Amino acid sequence: MRWLYSAILYALTPLVLLRLLYRSRRAPDYRRRWAERFGFFPQKLANSIWVHAVSVGEVQAALPMLRALRVRHPNIPLVVTTTTPTGLQRIKTAMGTDVISAHVPYDLPGAVRRFLRRVRPKVAIVMETELWPNLYHQCRVAHIPVIVANARLSERSSKGYRRIAKLVRATLQDVTLIAAQSAADQARFLSLGAPIERIQLIGNIKYDVALPADLFTKAVALRRGWSEGRAVLIAASTHAGEDEMVLAAFAELRQTFTDLLLVLVPRHPERFDVVAQLCQQRGYNVARRSEAAADLSGADVYLGDTLGDLMLLYAASDVAFVGGSLVPVGGHNVLEPAALGIPSITGPHMFNFAEVTAKLQAVGATDVIADESSLASRVAYWLQDLQQRQRASEAGKAVVKTNQGATDRLLVAIEKILKARD
């Protein structure tokens, strides 16, 4: 069945390139480095460690693992691939010259073979749910172990994969280790045909949030620039359609909290200008993080239009709305505000973080609302009740701390496979 899958991919390639060109109208980086997407890796390496993290969220989760691998294997090339330009920017900002970064090749047999011949990895570590039939098959042919790290599989994704069950089963047979986040993820991979002896329950490495030592000092300074004493709501990683909902809730909240500041952080950089214009059309003064000379004290909305600053913006806020959840995207990482002691609110579409959200909701650190109509009232609840906010803060941090350690367990599994290759 893989040959049919490959034929369809080859037929769709012109449309994929047209989509890249279309997206590049707002994000010019999509026009660059196309050769990498066809396997033309810029360097010729040997015995590298290759990590694939699809975009910013996966890169962020992988950073503790990447830093540990860099320390443990200082002389081995460490290659990180992503699918998006923002993923590449994040890894460059976080790791600099400690890694070699590139776009992952499309899952075309020729592109994958070309990439593997150039990179020649000792192991391939693929983050979360990236199941690519040709990539995994070519790794097996080349005797390259494949680890699916921090592996998760939502019920929704599992149902989708069952429609191509034969292809998925064959793909999972090519995996050396599936390091599952939870027992539910483990069971879903088993139901799709993954060999039981190749699945290990590791836990979720996203609990291992690394906080910079100077983060809170910087957050205090940032809040001082906004004018001390202002309440701050952050709406993080918002998608198209959510910004309007957030701004409607913000308008309602300002009737009670007249000096409330909204920190608005769109998920995708190509939407920064659009969202800024949307805020201005609603009559709000907008200060952009990218403009150092902006007057912060007079801003109604502070637009987080830079990459890599989300944790700082969370740390400087009182309450967080986590986006991708009022539209059916699947949500984003609620552990980040929890680790900082910030109560969070999400919409109902959190299927990518279902287990994490349930744990935080159970201790009162996260509210899950049914729709946008409840957003303003839940934010108001958190802003009005400092005591409850403090309880939620401690409860969220406790959940994060209790569930840490998955990165260390994952590293043990990686080292075992690397030693078997020596």
CA proximity to 234, closest of 327, 329, 332, 330: 332
Residues 135-141: contacts with CB under 8 Å, at least 24 apart:
135/105, 135/107, 136/171, 136/174, 136/175, 137/2, 137/170, 137/171, 137/174, 138/109, 138/112, 138/113, 139/174, 140/174
Assess whether 355 carries a catalytic annotation: no
Q: Which two tokens stand for residue 130?
A: 């990236």
**DSSP state string for 240-298:** TTHHHHHHHHHHHHTTTSTT-EEEEEESSGGGHHHHHHHHHHTT--EEETT-TT--STT
CA proximity to 411, closest of 79, 51, 142: 51
* Pairing between β-strand 286-288 and β-strand 301-303 as defined by DSSP bridges: parallel
Which residues are 199's β-sheet partners?
178
Among the listed residues 36, 58, 128, 242, the single catalytic one is 58
CA proximity to 95, closest of 121, 125, 59, 124: 59
- In the numeric block, the tokens 């490959």 are attached to 6
According to DSSP, residue 59 is labeled H
According to DSSP, residue 338 is labeled H
Query: Annotated catalytic sites, by residue?
Result: 58
